[in-house]
Amino acid sequence: MMNTKVEKIVYWIATVVMCGVFAFSAQMYFRNTEMVKGFFEALNYPSYIVIPLAILKVLGIIAVTTRVSKVLTEWAYAGFFLDAVLAFAAHYVAGDGGYLFSVIAIVATVVSRFMYGRLYL
C-alpha cells in the first residue's frame, strides 16, 4: 500500500501527462483546424466536431485540475478516456501509426483517474 505522498506524486505525474496530451491535441485543433478536419474525414469522423471537441478538451483539463465539482471531474475523465480509445481505434484501423499519443493518453487517464479515486473520493 502506497503512502499518501507517493500517491499524490503518481497522481500529479499522470494528470500532467494526460492534460499535456489533451492540451497539445486541443491547440492543434484550434491552430490547424482545416488540417485536422481533413484527418477526421480521412478517418471517417465528422469534421464539424473538431472545434467543439477542442473546447471540451480545454474544459475537461480545467475540470480535472481544479476538481471544483466531482461530477464534472468524473465526466471529464470519461470523456478523455473515450476520446483516447476512439483515437487509438481510428489510427490503428487507418494503419497510419499515429496511435502513440492515444496509448499514452489512455494509460495516463486510467492512472490519473484511479489515483484521483484513492485520494479525493
Q: Work out the average pLDDT over 67-96.
A: 94
What was the pLDDT predicted at 54?
98
Buried/exposed 54-81: b ≥16 CB within 10 Å, e otherwise: bebbeebbebbeeeeeeebbbebbebbb
Q: Work out the average pLDDT over 94-118.
A: 93
Question: What tens digit of pLDDT does each residue of 27-42 get?
Answer: 999 999 999 999 899 8
Q: Work out the average pLDDT over 75-88.
A: 96
What was the pLDDT predicted at 1?
62
- Give just the sign of the alpha carbon dihedral 30, 31, 37, 40: negative
Mean pLDDT of the chain: 94
